[in-house]
Amino acid sequence: EIVLTQSPGTLSLSPGERATLSCRASQSVSSSYLAWYQQKPGQAPRLLIYGASSRATGIPDRFSGSGSGTDFTLTISRLEPEDFAVYYCQQYGSSPQTFGQGTRLEIK
């Protein structure tokens, strides 16, 4: 199965700053079937990005995804207070689909 490694484990930033989160796959992710989710305490994950770079419906344009093959990035251009949460990447190009271990984005 494809192992996804997210870095950093924790990212400490201030509102208004730019956040760059990384997701590296142990094998190439076919057809860029890579998604990003945001999860806040006590809530289900929320889909942000699918197909590596397509924003899900209703997701603000400060969220963007990029990458292909084994290296993917989620960028939040200007952090809002509500963006501080845990972020997961998921590959769904190979079975079984797998998730990364998460990056915690915390307020500095």
Helix spans in 2-46 (H): none
- Subset of residues 35 to 54 that bind another protein, contact rule: CB under 8 A: 35, 37, 43-45, 47, 50
Those residues with Cβ within 8 angstroms of residue 98's Cβ, 6 or more apart along the chain or in another chain: 1, 2, 3, 4, 90, 91
Judged by beta carbon, residue 14 or residue 43, the one nearer another protein is 43
Cβ atoms 13, 79 nearer than 8 A = yes
- Subset of residues 67 to 96 that bind another protein, contact rule: CB under 8 A: 88, 90, 92, 95-96
Binding site for another protein (CB under 8 A): 1, 33, 35, 37, 43-45, 47, 50, 56-57, 88, 90, 92, 95-102
